[in-house]
Chains A and B, each alone.
Chain A
Amino acid sequence: MINEIPIWRIKYLPYNLDQICGREQLRNRLKGIIEKANFPHMLFVGTEGIGKTTIASLFAREFLGKYYDANLKIIHANVPLTEEERAQARSDAYVSTTKIGSIAGKTVTMPAFVQVKVKPFVQVKVMDAPFKILIVKNFDALGKNQQGFRRLMETYGSNCRMILITTKISGVIDPIVSRCQVFLVPQVDLTSFGKLITSIAKKESLILDEKTIEVLYKASGGKISKAIDFLQLSTISNKTVTLNDIYISLQKFQKGIVRSLLLVIFKGDFKKAREISRNILATYKYSAQELFTYLLLELHKLPLSTNVRASVINMIAEADIRAIDGQDNDIQVSNLLSKLCLYSEYL
């Protein structure tokens, strides 16, 4: 007996381009590319969690047909290298003296990320398919290492095409953008979202009305996997999904901890606030920047006067800027917390 997949977001993952929810225009363009069997480097831009990677990998799979296994690689630019990979990069950088050429016996400096994760893949010749496909997620996280891609995209362009994925196009350097065809991945619209949810509801024999779907759409911000998570949480007790169920599951799921951090800050308790912030960073693996963003988001939900809100945003912005140059994020976060704690005394 085949075990049924207990998690709906995995169960209802699309397995080809046709199954992708909505976004017909983009899908048609990609299908056209598959027919022509050729495409330039591509850059997918769109907000977080709307399915850029899913679309890109399904496209690559369909493009490569049955040869996708050896010719497709997905790498995450924001995942730090492990210690072994770093060691690997160091040893790879040394060119043996037995090799001929002016660089023999020297150390070639290359960004470790490119050295370990990208080069070995793009250098190996393509098998059976027209070319290999490399998908790089969160490309903007590479920062100045993006420069390394400029040459790679040209040198190995005939062997390997790249699909770069990013949430913010401003984070990608111009030379890279100019080498790519840019695709804007839009959010799924309400009608196709509704269709998808209804079809899931049919399969799981759920009962839910239009209004609920609309709330689900808004609550998840158009992110399908999140919406499906909410839906599953709401149906734990019974098969009829009401608005109330959605709200309850929303509450369970919300990152209450960031809000509680803000509340502690407004009480002026610095020590506690520092403890909570460290706890958040450790459990959710946020970078300091991400924590600042979530604080900002949460701040908009709190009932504050315009003046207060503006000054708090000012402080968060200041801390964020310092964290860019600073060495120790912990210090920058603590700085923000102490300022906010002081400010709360005047409220």
Chain B
Amino acid sequence: MAETKAKLPWIEKYRPKSLKDMAIPSAKSSGHKVNLAEELTNFVRNFFIEIKKINEINKEIRNHNRNATEKDQKEEIRLSFEKSAILLEGKPGIGKTSIVYALANDLNMDVIETNASDTRTRDALERKLNETTKSRGIMDFAKESRQKLILIDEVDGIYGTKDRGAVPTILNLIETTQFPIILCSNEFKQGLQSLYQKIKKVEVQPLSKLEAIKIASRVLKNEKISGISSGEIEAIVEKNGGDLRAVINDLQAIAKGSDFPDVVLLNNLHRDSIEEIFSLIRELFQDVKTLKEARNLTDRSDVDYNFLYKWVSENLPSFMHVNSDLANAWENLSLADEIFGRIRKNMYWGLLPYFYDLFAGGVTLSKKESDSRKGFVRIKNPQYFSSTTLNSAEKSLLEKINRKYNIPQDELMQDFLPFLQVLSSSSRKHQKIISDWFELDTKEKKMLKSD
């Protein structure tokens, strides 16, 4: 037992068993502060009281229906959405899942969980949950049978074609359930609005820094690890901003294997992904001397290559200043882009090695030794602009103009708007006439001023 426990990740090992030994995060429901533990316990208790009543009434109705004519059929009643499901919303790692498990443990219930790692198409959800929710099973006659609690974790992870039809299924599930349902979500999502409207939402706030430090020190004490100063613990807590899971993960990472924390690793923890790209780009342009080095560098990084070559493209002119170098580098990069396009279009994955070598090594090695300017170079984020989409001001202008004069967006931007700009800049009078006629507001009027 002790051995298996030692192998568990710390987050599982230190997951609270009961609400009593858990640091309950503060929570808000429709603007009022609530006690999360109390709220959830009451919710589960009330659910079972209500569902019992409803089941009895439904039984009578069914009996009645069996004997009644078609006209006198009565509909079975159902528990309201608010009483059968509750949504916990809060940042990742603050204890939403933990509190549900602790609660189930306290009330002696089983948790049936589905999370983002399961495919949640309609079929899959129905298969997994409907059986447990609708029928109470043979075992229900036995009094000792444990009640169940349904946890739909990471609701906001439902999206895309993979999880098609999940939301209606969940709604249907909530309507017919025989067990309380708790949903967890990280953030508000437009696609799930029909769900949000119907059920009660509780916003869970992150734990305070003090509490997180307290828990972290307790974990370290338990693992008999010394040598991490309180300042360092505080730094880790600060960095993760209330995400207790990340704090414990970090602690495990730096303490792994030995009783002494790895200081290098501790420093590495502060590096986030954008900075990783920054340093990668810098290394690529400034330190790489051979093709092999470049290849190693790109292989080693976790950054998506599909994304990385755009960073290379954006920052190329900051590192190269001679036209011949630039031309060579762009030649390689544009060929890489062409190859990438063909790979995507025709699935020629065999071309991928060329793409790698061209966009990394091919580009950076185009730089000649003679032009090594020293000094700090600022790395720029790639500009993702699509030249064909309009911004909001342009959109509203197009809409206004289309009321009077039907013109497609490309003709407006390339032809008509430049004309309007010239015409309205000729005199105040013209500007007023034009903007009055199209009923433009100040923001759109600004667009008439040519630059």
Residues of A within 8 A of B (CB): 3, 5-7, 10, 49, 74, 76, 78-80, 90, 94, 107, 137, 225-226, 229, 232-233, 236, 249, 252-253, 255, 268, 270-271, 274, 278, 281-288, 319, 322, 325-332, 334-335, 338-339, 341-342, 345
Contacts and interface: CB of A to CB of B under 8 A. Distances in A.
B331 interface: yes
Contact of A341 (B326, B337, B385, B404): B326
A79 B410 contact: yes
Given A270-B323, A338-B327, A326 B410 contact: no
B146 interface: no
A339 B327 contact: yes
Contact of B337 (A278, A322, A339): A322
Interface string B297-341: 000000000000110010011000001101101110111011011
A314 to B, nearest CB: 14
Contacts, number: 133
A255 B385 CA distance: 22
Interface string B273-298: 00000000000000000000000000
A338 B387 contact: no
Given A5-B437, A78-B410, A233-B423, A270 B326 contact: yes
Contacts of A10: 404-405
A327 B341 contact: yes
A106 to B, nearest CB: 11
B422 interface: yes
A274 B388 contact: no
B445 to A, nearest CB: 14
A282 B385 contact: yes
B413 A285 contact: yes
Given A78-B410, A327-B344, A6 B337 contact: no
B426 interface: yes
Given A6-B437, A270-B323, A341-B327, A331 B333 contact: yes
29 contacts: A3-B437, A7-B423, A10-B404, A79-B409, A80-B388, A94-B164, A232-B423, A236-B423, A249-B422, A253-B418, A255-B418, A278-B385, A285-B409, A285-B413, A285-B414, A322-B335, A325-B341, A327-B337, A328-B310, A329-B387, A330-B383, A331-B313, A331-B334, A331-B337, A334-B334, A335-B331, A335-B334, A338-B323, A339-B330
Interface in B343-373: 344-345
B193 interface: no
Nearest to A333: B334
Nearest to A318: B334
Which are the 8 A-B pairs with shortest beta-carbon distances?
A: A335-B334, A342-B327, A335-B330, A338-B330, A281-B387, A285-B413, A326-B337, A325-B341
Which of A49, A319, A328, A341 has the most chain B CB within a 10 Å cutoff?
A328
Which of B334, B337, B409, B420 has the most chain A CB within a 10 Å cutoff?
B334
Interface in B394-451: 404-406, 408-410, 413-415, 418-420, 422-423, 426-427, 430, 433-434, 437
A298 to B, nearest CB: 15
Contacts of A94: 164-165
Contacts of B405: 7, 10
A338 to B, nearest CB: 4
B324 A342 contact: yes
B413 A283 contact: yes
B338 A322 contact: yes
Interface residues of B, number: 51
A328 B419 contact: no
Nearest to A76: B408
B377 interface: no
Given A233-B422, A338-B326, A274 B317 contact: yes
Nearest to A90: B161
Given A10-B405, A285-B414, A322 B323 contact: no
B423 A79 contact: no
A84 to B, nearest CB: 11
A6 B310 CA distance: 46
Given A341-B326, A342-B327, A326 B387 contact: no
A152 B430 CA distance: 47
Contact of B340 (A49, A74, A284, A326): A326
Nearest to B312: A331
A329 B437 CA distance: 38
Contacts of B344: 327
A107 B164 CA distance: 10
B419 to A, nearest CB: 5
Contacts of B338: 322, 325-326
A329 to B, nearest CB: 7
A282 B389 CA distance: 9
Given A79-B409, A253-B422, A327-B337, A342 B323 contact: yes
